[in-house]
Amino acid sequence: MIPIQETMAAIRKFAPDFTAKMGIVLGSGLGSIAEELTDHITIPYQAIPGIHSSAVAGHASLLVLGYLQGVPVVCLKGRLHCYEGASYESIGTLIRIVRQLGANELIITGAVGSLNPAMEPGEVMLINDHINLQPGNPLAGPNDESIGPRFVSLENAYDEELRGILLRVAQQINIRVQEGVYISLLGPSFETPAEIRAYRMLGADAVGMSVVPEVIIARHCGLRVTGLCVVTNLAVGLGTEKVTHELTLQHGEIAARKLLKLIPAFVKEVNRVL
């Protein structure tokens, strides 16, 4: 494991004085949000010790530091996935960079398939809880007490106060947002119809292949989390369209237009009230 101090020393060569207030993880097709940042500094993941690049379409593998609505933020433009062979160590390093840069809140975005027919492609879902079916746990193994405690509560993993602010902002700017439970799977294969029926019985509203490991790591290091999902398709067996990654990017772009309005307004409001 590469010490976080070594990782931060590499970042500080590019941005010696930057301090963030919030972080944003940008999922499939949502990288355009990083382009809204002003006075930005862009650092390739390859230049950061302990991190490798994503090979998935829609993930640019860039750390972008800048200002959104005048608020200093750090964007992870592209995430790492376990199904690519990325280690929990690399995923953890990315999230801990956000905390090390000074942020207290983290917005995690992702693309999902809807298990709820009331949530259609192109809509936005606010995560209020999750079910973790990823293999293992990113906190298994030795614990660094300087980062976070051995045992972490996930009772309020998706911060209730921040969810309230988000819903209020969404209503003000007339963007429909529904709350729901996210179920996280390894992937990269899409689910079978039988699996989707099982996940619905478990109480899941949406299915994806990321988010949860990042949330666990974020809570471990003290970041308050808001989870926002773009609905890219109805899960297999619930709709007529064939589920593909290309479809994910297509509908993700539609929903990204909503997040381009929603996230800046949310960041501004969080900065005002917290």
Catalytic residue, from 210, 235, 251, 256: name it.
Answer: 210
Catalytic residue, from 128, 245, 253, 269: name it.
Answer: 245
pLDDT of 59 reads: 47
| pLDDT tens over the chain, length 274 residues | 788 899 999 999 999 999 999 999 998 677 888 889 999 999 999 899 888 655 554 446 899 999 999 999 999 998 888 998 888 998 999 999 999 999 999 999 998 999 999 998 889 999 999 999 999 899 999 999 999 999 999 999 999 999 999 999 999 999 999 999 999 999 999 899 999 999 999 999 999 999 999 999 999 999 999 999 999 888 888 876 676 667 667 777 788 789 989 999 999 999 999 9
The verdict on whether 81 is a catalytic residue reads yes
Catalytic residue, from 22, 34, 111, 157: name it.
Answer: 111
The verdict on whether 83 is a catalytic residue reads yes
DSSP letter string over 183-246?
EE---SSPPPHHHHHHHHHHT-SEEESSSHHHHHHHHHTT-EEEEEEEEEEEPTTTSSSPP-HH
DSSP-assigned letter for residue 82: G
The verdict on whether 123 is a catalytic residue reads no
Distances in Å between the Cα of 23 and the Cα atoms of 26, 43, 71, 136, 191 are 10, 15, 10, 25, 30
Question: In this predicted model, what pLDDT tens digit does every residue of 34-82 receive, in sequence order?
Answer: 889 999 999 999 899 888 655 554 446 899 999 999 999 999 998 888 9
Catalytic residue, from 81, 130, 220, 251: name it.
Answer: 81
The length of the chain is 274
Catalytic residue, from 61, 90, 114, 233: name it.
Answer: 233
pLDDT of 232 reads: 86
- CA dist 3 and 67 (Å) reads 28
Question: In this predicted model, what pLDDT tens digit does every residue of 5-39 receive, in sequence order?
Answer: 999 999 999 999 999 999 999 986 778 888 899 99
Closest to 92 in 3D by CA, of 42, 163, 128, 140: 140
Q: Which long-range contacts (CB under 8 A, 24 or more apart) does 12-16 make?
A: 14/41, 14/43, 14/47, 15/41, 15/43, 15/65
The verdict on whether 251 is a catalytic residue reads no
**Whole-structure pTM value:** 0.93
The residues near 108 (Cβ < 8 Å, ≥ 6 apart) are 24, 25, 27, 211, 214, 215, 218, 225, 226, 227, 228
The verdict on whether 40 is a catalytic residue reads no
The verdict on whether 28 is a catalytic residue reads yes
The verdict on whether 233 is a catalytic residue reads yes
The residues near 227 (Cβ < 8 Å, ≥ 6 apart) are 107, 108, 109, 110, 126, 127, 130, 158, 182, 211, 215
Catalytic residue, from 36, 84, 195, 269: name it.
Answer: 84
The verdict on whether 245 is a catalytic residue reads yes
Q: How many CB atoms within 10 Å of residue 188?
A: 12
The verdict on whether 111 is a catalytic residue reads yes
Closest to 169 in 3D by CA, of 24, 266, 263: 266
Domains of the chain: 4-273 (3.40.50.1580)
3 state DSSP class of 265: helix
Catalytic residue, from 52, 83, 87, 132: name it.
Answer: 83
For residue 129, the cross-strand partners are 181
The verdict on whether 214 is a catalytic residue reads no
